[in-house]
Amino acid sequence: MFTRRTKLLLTGGLLTLILLGAIVLQSPDPTRTVDEVMSTPSDYVGEEIAIRGEVRDGSIDNESMTFLLHGSDYEILVDFVDASVSNGLDDNRTVYAKGKLRIIDSGYVFEAEIIKTSCPSKYEE
């Protein structure tokens, strides 16, 4: 019916389609900046998003488990009570956070599930 070569080509094509489909379906959501999210925050309320920004100097409060994450023009309060936090959360450190944006007491709060920090430079003085 089919030659060996035809069977191999069909099998290879099918495997390629399956692999491409898996890659497309598994692609992660893009990381957004604080400024991008806070310029139109109502678009992101209740959605799980990934956000990147810098920890505002002196804003980490270990009692309330919050800190301010800022961009160029905006900042957002990050609640990390239930978050998995990597080592190195500190002032002025670039942070990646994944979680949901909520409205609490008429203000926006980012409830983080995961927080990852950038590595400090080996060459800092």
Q: What is the DSSP string of 3-48?
A: -HHHHHHHHHHHHHHHHHHHHHHTPPPPEEEHHHHHHSGGGTBT-E
- Please report the domains of the chain, with CATH numbers, ordered by start residue: 31-117 (2.40.50.200)
Residue 114 pLDDT more than 70? yes
SS3 at position 18: helix
pLDDT value of residue 73: 95
pLDDT of 84 above 50: yes
Predicted confidence at residue 19, as pLDDT, reads: 84
Classified as helix, coil or strand, 84 is strand
Percent residues over pLDDT 90 in the chain? 53
Alpha-carbon distance of 49 to 46, in angstroms, equals 9
23-70, pLDDT tens digit by residue? Answer: 777 656 788 999 999 999 999 999 999 999 999 999 999 899 999 999
